[in-house]
Copies of this chain bind each other. A is one copy, B any other.
């Protein structure tokens, strides 16, 4: 049996912080609530009561195990907020409330935890969402790499029709919100100690504002998908398969920054498969492309949005064709795994 004795100077997380005793209460009162708590909520109860005011709600969750915890342009804290905010945005919803669940490793410096929580708070405030409920567990040294964090979120659906792969129609245009692969390249560079010039920063950011602006402008958004694990390739192949459509994209139209291109060239990575945490694709009627691009380019988050392809007829459904810079068509396929494990 283990004896989870408290750490007298409270500089590190101990197993006792994960129990049902005084130290768990202290951790909640002195660390979590001051950092994350909504000052308008004082219930201290098992869950939060919320009022969606008659709207449909979107519900999403994301687990985060990125290593290292801090990387150029972000941290696991930013990522945990933006990941779930973006999943809600991809449902055509306005993100409102988040839950957080932490698995902390015994020995985690309290200062590291506070830094992660401060990043979560900053990201939540910037996105206009409240963190309303949570849970914390502690596991022994050697487990959990410092910490894992899972967020779940609720958003209020603002899209007038379902935004999903099944709503994609032949003839739709495919828009990409910006250049690819910054998050993957940033995590890779810090993890492997590589230096690229210019050094890529993660693109980790919340995407709901440009999405809500598209909806507010009356753009008929058929589907949205953020380009996270597996990058643009995964987003496109999943939508082709789930929506039962054939997609064609033009390689020359896809923006990649010089730093990311250099990293990919050096390491033999495909920028189309590199993870982003702040880029998405949108499927809209071709007649609304100009209107949609005008809306997106007015927001700094999506200022570099471009059309990259179209939805073809329903024959050969489930395939994605890439028209390469040489004018050759080739099938875009998912690899078996991931170029980089533990990327988010």
Interface residues of A (CB under 8 A from B): 1-2, 4-6, 14-25, 42-52, 54, 56-65, 86-88, 90-91, 93, 97, 99-103, 132-140, 142-145, 148, 150, 152-155, 157, 162-166, 192, 225-226, 228-231, 233-234, 238, 242, 273, 275, 334-342, 344
Contact = CB atoms under 8 A, between A and B. Distances in A.
B19 A49 contact: no
A48 B60 CA distance: 7
A22 B332 CA distance: 13
B341 A242 contact: no
Contacts of A5: 336-337
Nearest to A66: B137
A250 to B, nearest CB: 22
Main secondary structure of the interface of A (DSSP, over half): mixed
Please tell me how many copies of the chain the complex holds: 2
Nearest to A5: B337
A144 B142 contact: no
Nearest to A274: B20
A337 B46 contact: no
B164 A45 contact: yes
A21 B139 contact: no
A25 B54 CA distance: 35
22 contacts: A4-B338, A15-B341, A18-B342, A20-B230, A20-B231, A21-B234, A22-B337, A24-B230, A25-B334, A42-B166, A43-B162, A47-B153, A49-B58, A49-B91, A57-B154, A59-B154, A65-B103, A99-B152, A137-B342, A137-B344, A140-B341, A144-B144
A57 B63 contact: no
Nearest to A153: B47
A103 B104 CA distance: 13
Nearest to A148: B103
Contacts of A19: 229-230, 335, 337-339, 341
B4 A100 contact: no
